[in-house]
Amino acid sequence: MGKRGKLVLALALAAACGCSEDADRLGRVCQKVSAKFDGVTEGMRGKLRSGAGAVRGSVIEASLDSRVAQRLRWDKDMSGAEVEVVPVAPGVVELHGTVSDLRQRRRAVELAGTTVGVENVLDKLTAETDANSP
């Protein structure tokens, strides 16, 4: 709530009580409290902004293969898959490893292909259902 909102709330409460002298006093108290609160939280806002910038910078600086690997690792549809991401060229990654089925294989290629910075995905994955078929 902004300073004006706090002041309006304080004045409304004081007006409801019916005493204008108390309303003035309460308004001054609210202004002081609001100023103190803003002073305390201003440093926090700066820290949050700088922290968010640092996180954003580290994500951008992360290597392409590690970003793809993280997406594969954290996606619920990729549970149980063992996929290694190998950088081949700028913007190109190669996927090696084993997935459970064709659906999971397609998901891995989709996740890799939609990762920012990836231009091409080379699919070298093996699906367990493919390996068990005659």
pLDDT, mean of residues 22-40: 75
Quote the domain boundaries for residue 107. 64-132
pLDDT at position 98, please? Answer: 95
Residue-wise pLDDT for 88-119, tens only, equals: 999 999 999 999 999 999 999 999 999 999 99
| pLDDT confidence tier of residue 25, bands split at 50, 70 and 90 | confident
Cα angle: 97, vertex 99, 104; to 5 degrees: 130
89 and 48, same domain (yes or no): no
Instruction: Find the CATH number of the domain harbouring 106.
Output: 3.30.1340
Q: What does DSSP assign to residue 89?
A: E
37 and 72, same domain (yes or no): no
Number of structural domains, the chain? 2
C-beta of residue 108 within 8 angstroms of C-beta of residue 99: yes
Phi, psi of 100, rounded to the nearest 5 degrees:
-75, -35
Q: Which of 12-21, 92-101, 121-130 has the lowest mean pLDDT?
A: 12-21
pLDDT at position 56, please? Answer: 54
70 and 126, same domain (yes or no): yes
